[in-house]
A and B are shown apart, each in its own frame.
Chain A
Amino acid sequence: MLFKSVFLKTLRDYRIAILGWGLGLGLLMYVVVDAISSVTSTAAARASLVSLAGSFSWLAEPIRVDTPGGYATWKYGFTILVLALWPILAGSRMLRGEEVRGSMDALLSLPRGRGRVALEKLAAMWTALLIMAVLIGLLTYLGGAHVNADYTFGDGLLFGLNLALVCGVFGSLALFISQFTQENRSAAGITGGLLALFIVVDMIHRIVPNTDWISRLSPVYYYNLSKPLIPSYGTDPVAMLVMLVLSVVLSGAAIWLFVRRDIGATVALPRWLSLPKRAARPEDALPARAWSLQSIYTRSLAKMAVPTFWWTVVIAGYAALAVFITVQTEKQLKSLFEGSPLFANLIGNLGGSDAGFNASLLGFFWVMFAALLMAFAVTQASRWAADEEDGLQELVLATPQPRLKVILMRFAALTTATVIIGVATLALSALAVALSGLALDWGNLAAASLSIIPMGLLIAALGYLFSGWLHTAIDTGLLAFLLVIWFVISFIGPELKIPDGVLRLSAFYYYGTPLSTGLPLGDMLLVLAVAAVALVLASVRFMRKDIAN
Chain B
Amino acid sequence: MTTLVETQGLTKRYGSNRGIEDVTFTIDEGEVFGFLGPNGAGKTTTIRTIMGLLRPTAGSAHIGGLDCWEQSTDVKRLVGYLPGELSLDPNLTGGQILEYYGNLRGGVDQTYLKQLITRLGLDPTRKFRQYSSGNKRKIGIVQAFMHRPRLLILDEPTNGLDPLNQQEFDRMVKEVREDGRTVFLSSHILTEVEQTCTRVAIIREGRLVRVGGVAELKGLKRHEVTITFANAVPVEAFKSLEGVEQADALPDGHTLRLAVSGGLDGIIKAAAQYQVATLTSQEPSLEEIFLRYYEGDGVAATETDHVV
- CB nearest to B78 among chain A residues: A400
By a CB distance below 8 angstroms, the chain A residues around B53 are 394, 397-398, 546-547, 549
Q: Is A299 an interface residue (CB 8 A)?
A: yes
The winner among A100, A392, A395, A397 for most chain B CB atoms within 10 A is A395
Asked if B103 and A546 make an inter-chain contact with CB atoms under 8 angstroms apart, the answer reads no
Chain A residues with Cβ below 8 Å from B113 are 286
The interface bits of chain A over 30-54 (1 if a CB of B lies within 8 angstroms of the residue's CB, else 0) are: 0000000000000000000000000
Q: Are A286 and B99 in contact (CB under 8 A)?
A: yes
A397 CA to B113 CA, complexed, in Å: 21
Tell me, in angstroms, the Cα distance from A101 to B117 when the chains sit together.
Answer: 27
CA A402 to CA B124, docked complex, whole Å: 28
Closest-CB distance, A133 to chain B (whole angstroms)? 35
Any A CB within 8 A of the CB of B129: yes
Which of A296, A390, A547 is close to B104, meaning CB atoms less than 8 Å apart? Answer: A296
A396 at the interface (CB under 8 A from B): yes
Given contacts A280-B125, A282-B117, A391-B85, contact A400 B99 (CB under 8 A): no
User: A405: nearest residue on chain B (CB-CB)?
Assistant: B73
Closest to A264 in B: B130
With the chains together, A394 CA to B81 CA distance in Å?
10
Over the window 536-549 of chain A, the binary record of Cβ atoms lying under 8 Å from chain B Cβ atoms (1 yes, 0 no) is 00000000111101
Say if the beta carbon of B83 comes within 8 Å of chain A: yes
Q: Given A282-B125, A285-B124, A399–B96 Cβ distance below 8 Å?
A: no
The answer to whether A285 and B94 have CB atoms under 8 Å apart is: yes
Say yes or no: B88 contacts A400, CB within 8 Å: no
**B245 touches A (CB below 8 Å):** no
- Distance in Å: Cβ of B48 to nearest Cβ of chain A: 7
Q: Which residues of A contact B94 (CB under 8 A)?
A: 285
- Given A293-B100, A392-B87, A399-B104: A285 in contact with B125 (beta carbons within 8 A): yes
Q: Tell yes or no: B189 within 8 A of A by CB.
A: no
Contact between chains at A395 and B83 (CB < 8 Å)? yes
When the two chains form their complex, are residues B101 and A286 in contact, meaning their CB atoms are under 8 A apart?
A: no
> Which residues of B are found within 8 Å of A549, using beta-carbon distances?
44, 48, 53, 83, 85
**A residues 332-352 touching B (CB-CB < 8 Å):** none
Asked if A499 is an interface residue, CB under 8 A from chain B, the answer is no
Tell me the complex Cα distance, A284–B93, Å: 12
The residue among B54, B72, B98, B103 with the most chain A CB atoms within 10 A of its own CB is B103
Residues of A within 8 A of B95 (CB): 285-288
Query: Given contacts A399-B76, A401-B104, A546-B55, is CB(A285)–CB(B93) below 8 Å?
Result: yes
Determine how close the nearest CB of chain A comes to the CB of B91; give it in whole angstroms. 9
Least CB separation from A392: chain B residue:
B87
Interface contact A398-B83, CB-CB below 8 Å: yes
Q: Give the Cβ gap from B30 to chain A, nearest Cβ, in Å.
A: 22
Q: Is the interface of A mostly helix, strand, loop or mixed?
A: loop
Query: At the interface, yes or no: A275 with Cβ under 8 Å from chain B?
Result: no
Q: Are A398 and B76 in contact (CB under 8 A)?
A: yes
Contact A395 B88 (CB under 8 A): yes
B89 near A401 with CB under 8 A, answer: no
A100 touching B129 in the complex, CB below 8 Å, given contacts A282-B124, A394-B53: yes
A106 CB to nearest chain B CB (Å): 15
- Chain B residues with a Cβ closer than 8 Å to the other chain, count: 43
Nearest residue (CB) in A for B79 is A398
| A-side contacts of B114, CB under 8 Å | 283, 286
A283, A285, A289: which has the most chain B beta carbons within 10 Å?
Answer: A285
The answer to whether B87 and A390 touch across the interface, beta carbons within 8 angstroms, is: yes
Interface centre among A100, A400, A401, A402 (most CB of B within 10 A): A400
Name the B residues within 8 Å of A294 (CB-CB).
Answer: 103
B143 touches A293 (CB 8 A): no
Separation of A293 and B143 alpha carbons in the complex (Å): 15
Residue A295 interfacial (CB < 8 Å): yes
- A112 to chain B: which residues have CB within 8 Å? none
Q: How distant is A8 from chain B, measured CB to nearest CB, in Å?
A: 30
Decide yes or no: A392 and B89 within 8 Å by CB, A293-B100, A296-B104, A401-B73 being known contacts. yes
Number of A positions contacting B (CB below 8 A): 38
B105 within 8 A of A: yes
Q: When chains A and B are docked, how far (Å) is the Cα of A183 from the Cα of B129? A: 10
Whether A110 is near chain B, meaning CB under 8 Å from some CB there, is no
**Shortest beta-carbon distance, A526 to chain B, in Å?**
34
Measured CB to CB, the nearest residue on chain B to A283 is: B114
Q: Contact at A399–B105, with CB atoms within 8 Å?
A: yes
Inter-chain contacts of B79 with A (CB < 8 A): 398
Cβ-based interface call for B288 (8 A) = no
Does A290 sit at the interface, judged by CB under 8 A?
A: yes
* Bound: A544/B79 CA distance, A: 21
Taking the complex as formed, is A281 at the interface, i.e. its CB lies under 8 A from any CB of chain B? yes
Complex: how many Å from CA A547 to CA B93? Answer: 25
CA distance A390 to B86 in the complex (A): 10
Q: Is the CB of A281 within 8 A of B125?
A: yes
Q: CB-CB contacts of A170-199 with B at 8 A, as 1s and 0s?
A: 000000000000110000000000000000
The reply to whether the CB of B77 lies closer than 8 angstroms to some CB of chain A is yes
* Contact pick for B105, options A183, A400, A547, CB 8 Å: A400
Tell me if B194 is interfacial: C-beta within 8 Å of chain A: no
Q: What's the minimum C-beta distance from B74 to chain A, rounded to whole angstroms?
A: 7
Residue pair B103, A547 in contact (C-beta under 8 Å): no
* Minimum CB–CB distance for B28 against chain A, Å: 23
A390 CA to B51 CA, complexed, in Å = 18
B289 CB to nearest chain A CB (Å): 30
- On whether the beta carbons of B104 and A396 are closer than 8 Å, the reply is yes
Please determine whether A395 and B96 come into contact, CB atoms closer than 8 angstroms. Answer: no
In contact, A395 and B143 (Cβ under 8 angstroms): yes
Check B88–A392 contact: CB distance below 8 A.
yes
Q: Which residue of A lies closest to B118 (CB)?
A: A282
B110 at the interface (CB under 8 A from A): yes
Taking a contact as CB atoms under 8 Å apart, the answer to whether B54 and A547 are in contact is yes
Tell me the smallest distance from the CB of B137 to a CB of chain A, in Å. 13
- Are A394 and B100 interface neighbours, CB within 8 A? no
Which residues of A lie under 8 Å from residue B205 when comparing CB positions? none
Residues 393-439 of A at the B interface (beta carbon under 8 Å):
394-403
User: With a CB–CB cut-off of 8 A, which chain A residues contact B55?
Assistant: 544-546
Name the residue of chain A whose CB is nearest to the CB of B76: A400
- What's the least CB distance linking A384 to chain B, in Å? 14
Q: Which of B44, B51, B73, B100 has the most CB of A within 10 A?
A: B100
Measured in the bound complex, the distance between the Cα atoms of B103 and A253 in whole Å is: 47
Q: Smallest CB–CB gap between A101 and chain B, Å?
A: 11
| B residues in contact with A282, CB < 8 Å | 117, 122-125
> Knowing A287-B110, A391-B83 touch, does A398 contact B51 (C-beta < 8 A)?
yes
Interface string of B46-78 (1 = CB under 8 A from A): 001001111100000000000000001110110
Question: Cβ of A545: which chain B residues have Cβ within 8 Å of it?
Answer: 55
Q: Digitize B250-292: 1 where CB-to-A-CB distance is under 8 Å, 0 elsewhere.
A: 0000000000000000000000000000000000000000000
Closest to A293 in B: B100
CA distance A296 to B89 in the complex (A): 13
Q: How far is the CA of A293 from the CA of B104 in the complex (A)?
A: 9
| 8 nearest CB pairs, A to B | A391-B87, A285-B95, A280-B125, A285-B124, A398-B81, A399-B104, A293-B100, A547-B53
5 pairs, CB–CB < 8 Å, chain A vs chain B? A182-B129, A281-B125, A287-B110, A392-B89, A395-B86
Additional 11 contacts, C-beta under 8 A, given A282-B117, A398-B83: A182-B130, A183-B129, A280-B125, A281-B125, A282-B123, A303-B89, A396-B104, A398-B79, A399-B101, A399-B105, A400-B76
A: residues with CB less than 8 A from B are 100, 182-183, 280-290, 293-296, 299, 303, 390-392, 394-403, 544-547, 549
